[in-house]
Amino acid sequence: MPACPPPTVIISKCLGFSPCRYDGKMISFPAANVLKPYVSFITVCPECEIGLGVPRKPIRIVLERGEFGEKETLIQPATELDLTEDMADFTAAYLNKLANVDGAILKSKSPSCGTGSTKVFASASSRNCLHRRGTGLFAEGLTGHFPYLPVVDEEQIADSAMRDHFLTRIFALATFREVAESGKMHKLVEYHTRNKLLLMAYDKEAMTMMGDTVANRVKRPFGEVIQEYGRYLLKMLSRPAGTGPNINVLMHAAGYFSDSLDPDEKALLEDRFREYRQNDAVLGELKKMFMSWILRYNVEYLLKQTYFCPYPEELSGSLRQV
Ligand code: SF4
């Protein structure tokens, strides 16, 4: 993979950076150390930022039901403080100052940072939570402000398919940001060419429209073209590439060297496709097998495609072990 700028990633500070949890502890998160050389982290602890000390009494999401519907509030039961507004104000001010961000890794289950995994209570004093999970108030503000931002929690990043999707997105977005900042059309053409198979796997139709945008037949200014391209990119990358589209891309790529494979290798390829149809997790292995053939037959076009190596290769191995 050619050198690419480090993605800028917001991370909950308690994930291996600071003992800032309500109980004065820090979460062991070895993945942060693996990622550090490759990404530029921005750490944040929203609860500390709104002035709650360490240690502090726990806070929780309480569902307020009123005449005009439901509203999630942030309450500290021990003090009966309603922190909803403080958190909303901090989040808005924080996000308004944030210029370039490519992704976020947030702490699961937190009333501030959790993304869809946080307990929700009917009142400040109820012992049992409701049968639903919510999103922390900071996380909600973040995803509202950046609707297509790649966001995972520390549990999701342990899942190989989710991790692969997240890393693919943040590196694709960081490289795109560099292209946008260059102001050069030829850089965008180059970006589109190198990412063609990757984009095809995510959304073939959108990839074709992005090709039209890049072709820029009506000679629009760079600013307009890059904005339109960026909108397509963010949206298309927000959903994981499906098994069918990945197989289509791989079959398309195999067309560059399949005549040179011997019968055993062709049979192996069929077997691997079968395995992949049953288990998403083998996609990485399939791509590695392709890479060995691409190198053997020196297929220059495929060697330049980010699809086979969308982020630094060392990351996948090291993150699998933590
Ligand atoms: S989950 Fe978020 S608010 Fe809670 S300690 Fe971690 S960084 Fe701070």
The predicted pLDDT at position 37 comes to 95
The whole-number pLDDT of residue 320 equals: 77
Q: Which of 43, 90, 112 to mutate to test the pocket of ligand 1 (most atoms within 8 A of CB)?
A: 112
Q: Show the ligand 1 pocket: residues with CB < 6 angstroms.
A: 12-14, 20-21, 45-47, 107, 110, 112-113
pLDDT band at 290 (very low <50, low <70, confident <90, very high): very high
Q: State the pLDDT at residue 1.
A: 55
Domains of the chain: which residue ranges? 8-158, 184-322
**Pair of tokens at residue 235:** 């949206």
Instruction: Name the residue of 9, 10, 21 whose CB sits within 8 Å of the most ligand 1 atoms, as the mutation to test its pocket.
Output: 21
Task: Return the closest-CA partner of residue 283 out of 270, 292, 273.
Answer: 273
Interval 186-222: pLDDT, tens = 999 999 999 999 999 999 999 999 999 999 999 999 9
Predicted confidence (pLDDT) per residue in 94-120, tens digit: 999 998 899 999 999 999 999 999 999
* 316 closest CA partner among 31, 15, 5, 29: 31
What mean pLDDT comes out for the span 238-243? 95
Q: Helix (H) and strand (E) counts for the chain?
A: 14, 9
Q: Whose alpha carbon is nearest atom 8 of ligand 1?
A: 45
CA 83 / ligand 1 centre spacing (Å): 14
State yes or no: pLDDT of 7 exceeds 60: yes
Tokens of 87: 């958190």
Q: What is the mean pLDDT of the chain?
A: 95
Give pLDDT, residue 48: 98
